[in-house]
Amino acid sequence: MLCVAIFSVSVFSQASDEDTSTREQLVSIKQQLTTAVNIVDRQEIARIAYGLNRFFEDQETSKYARYYAAYAWYRLGTLPTEDGSEPKSEWLDTAVDHLKKAIETDRDFAEAHALLSSVYGMKASGVFSGMKYGPKAQSAIDKSIALSPYNPRIYLIDGIGTFFKPSMFGGGTDKALKLFQKSASLFDEYQPASALAPSWGHAEVYAWIGQVYEKKEQIGKAKEAYQKALDIDPNYGWVKYSLLPGLTSN
């Protein structure tokens, strides 16, 4: 069970310093969220998600606050639960709501369109839901690529969707691998537009490359990819505590 102190503001104690600008506060919270995701601290992720609402009305930070709130709920929908239960569908609905509001603020917000595509893809889990959300996911990722064709995170997200998409609908591991490799190449030269802009994904793309190679039973290449992820982020919990140990134990 996810136990969350909804009204707790302790996570923002440092960020609430009166001498710190709203922008600097949100940058600090972005960094806290990144750390929480990397170490799979579900309670911290949820606490941050609830606390971001105080940034929604600020013109400078609104779209980013909505984005990071959505990102937090998106991650809660992907990370394993403490009791092994399925993530709650309303977490993804909340992410969709935040991303739509971010796009209302800035219709050319490519990062929000890309993340919205991934959330829709997660909601397309069955035949009927796939018919409803599959086209929405494709439309959102196409929009994000058109807006920001050299953003590595967009190809990472497109690759994840392609990895899980049935081959009859244009998915498959080979196509996903090409997207992941493009993402990895773009990450080598990529710099976020600002300190507020999203910056996650560099280590994660190698985790997904490793997943592709594992599925192909190319264990040596999978191990190389996982090690590359840890070279980028030695504290990346998914690889450090799950993927790499699982690989070496087989």
Lowest mean pLDDT among 55-59, 145-149, 151-155: 55-59
Convert the pLDDT of each residue in 16-57 to its tens digit.
444 579 999 999 999 999 999 999 899 999 999 999 999 999
Tell me the angle at which helices 89-105 and 62-78 cross, rounded to the nearest 10 degrees.
Answer: 160
Quick one: pLDDT at residue 141?
98
pTM above 0.75, yes or no: yes
Q: How far apart are CA 159 and CA 177, in angstroms?
A: 7
| Segments making up each domain of the chain, as ranges | 150-190+198-236
Residue 15 reports pLDDT greater than 60: no
Of the pLDDT bands very low, low, confident and very high (cuts 50, 70, 90), residue 80 is: low
Residue 3 reports pLDDT greater than 60: no
DSSP state of 86: P
Convert the pLDDT of each residue in 165-204 to its tens digit.
888 888 999 999 999 999 999 999 999 999 999 999 999 9
Of the pLDDT bands very low, low, confident and very high (cuts 50, 70, 90), residue 114 is: very high
For the chain, give the percent of residues with pLDDT over 90.
76
The rounded radius of gyration (Å) of the Cα atoms in the chain is 18
Question: What superfamily does domain 150-190+198-236 belong to in CATH?
Answer: Tetratricopeptide repeat domain (1.25.40.10)
Quick one: pLDDT at residue 85?
66
